[in-house]
Amino acid sequence: MDFKGFDHPGRPAAGGTRSVKVMIAGGFGTGKTTMVRSVSDIKPLTTEETLTQASADVDHLIGVADKTETTVSLDFGKIGINDELVLYLFGTPGQERFWFLWNGLFKGALGAIVLVDTRRLASSFRAIEEMERQDVPFVIALNVFPDSKHHPVEEIRDALDIPPHTPIVACDARDRASSRDVLIALIRHLKERSAIALEPR
Amino acid sequence: MSAPRRPTDPSGLERYYVLTGGRSGPGGPASSLDVATLIVSRTTPAPGMQHEHEEILRRCRDPLSVAELGAHLGLPFNILAVLLADLLEAGRVEARDPIPAHGAGRGPDLALLEEVLSGLQRL
């Protein structure tokens, strides 16, 4: 790559920096933004997408009244993996019905963490279904709230109808080390899946 | 007394319409842009460039994700994608898509996962 005229003092590696992305999904109020915040190297930022229900055409930006415009926000953070690799973490919008409108939201992601509040299991059903439908590999992270009762993992696996090979881990989304451990569980899970896929048939 | 002025709308749809020349979605190279795509400037801003184009080139001297760029410039993804399409077509920026776990036709990328894992373990 030609970087004539550009200074990267002491950082020759910046020219080759690449990214990977991990999604954080889960129902409303399960701690997605909290997790992004606790584990990110930067103060979390928000990016927006304006979604139009009707087909996109030149006119929709001037606000033609009969088209439905919705602004969907993604909270995100990043983690420097090494000098050449950055991991971006995106907290998905609370309203899962917008996920399919945001084309390619999950495309290219390494995988996803689905946060579950054990006091309200049902709030994450939709997120789990969506991961399965879009074939995104995921781990389940039980965000333990102060008043959460302890449930055996197998009971939760059963209630959420999670296949045996999908890891379920407990975490405190407010805690950096705990959130990092969930990410580690996800990457290990992805490695195992890959190792199985690489095995000769 | 001055004549009443029409209220300006610096953050709204009118502004986006002006910024993009009324174009609502990118075609060509920018249609595959992802929120985690890294943008890197290949040239310095040229005189007479649209302010936002200049700003993108300035901010992307070091690789910056489309999501960060959108947050810093206060622009939604779809509007930013139109602006980036101009710069990509003119060869003024380079776009690097996020590395997927499964490279096209290459099978699972274990080396990449190992790299991510060791980075996380150092946190």
What CATH number does residue A21 fall under? 3.40.50.300
Count of structural domains within chain B:
1
Name chain A contacts of B123, Cβ cutoff 8 Å.
Answer: 39, 79, 176-177, 180
Does A6 reside within a domain?
A: no
Does B49 reside within a domain?
A: yes
Q: Residue A197 is nearest to which of B98, B108, B114, comparing CB atoms?
A: B108
Higher pLDDT, A95 or B103: A95
Does B7 reside within a domain?
A: no
Does B4 reside within a domain?
A: no
Does A7 reside within a domain?
A: no
The domain of A190 spans 12-198
Looking at the complex, does the CB of residue B117 fall below 8 Å from at least one CB of chain A? yes
Residue A143, C-beta contacts closer than 8 angstroms, at least 6 positions apart: A26, A30, A31, A34, A35, A115, A116, A117, A171, A172, A173
Does A148 reside within a domain?
A: yes
Task: Give CA separation, A179 vs A4, A7, A40, A143, B82, in Å.
Answer: 41, 36, 10, 10, 35
Nearest residue of B to residue A88, measured between CA atoms: B36
Cα separation, A90 vs B100, in Å, equals 15
Say if the Cβ atoms of B120 and A79 lie within 8 Å.
Answer: yes
The strand ranges marked E within A84-166 are 85-91, 109-116, 138-143
Q: Which pLDDT value is given to residue B8?
A: 57
pTM score, whole prediction: 0.83
Name chain B contacts of A21, Cβ cutoff 8 Å.
Answer: 34-36, 98
Question: Please, which pLDDT band fits residue B28 given cuts at 50, 70 and 90?
Answer: low
CA gyration radius for chain B?
A: 18
Q: Is residue A179 within 8 Å of residue A148, measured between CB atoms? A: no
**Average model confidence (pLDDT) across chain B:** 84
ipTM of the complex: 0.83
Does A79 reside within a domain?
A: yes
The half-sphere exposure of A162 on its side-chain side, counting CA atoms within 13 A, is 28
pLDDT digits (tens, 9 = 90+) for B45-80: 999 999 999 999 999 999 999 999 999 999 999 899
Does B74 reside within a domain?
A: yes
Q: Which pLDDT value is given to residue A67?
A: 55
H-run or E-run covering A195? helix A176-198
* Partner A, chain B 48-67, Cβ-Cβ below 8 Å: 61-63, 65-67
Q: Is residue A146 within 8 Å of residue A171, measured between CB atoms? A: no
Does A5 reside within a domain?
A: no
Cα separation, A137 vs A194, in Å, equals 11
Extract the residue ranges of chain A whose pLDDT is less than 50: 1-13, 54-65
Count of structural domains within chain A:
1
Q: CATH number of the domain that B60 lies in?
A: 1.10.10
Place of tokens 């059903």: A125
Does B3 reside within a domain?
A: no
The alpha-carbon gap from A63 to the nearest alpha carbon of chain B, in Å, equals 7
The strand ranges marked E within chain B are 38-41, 64-65, 93-96, 102-103, 107-108
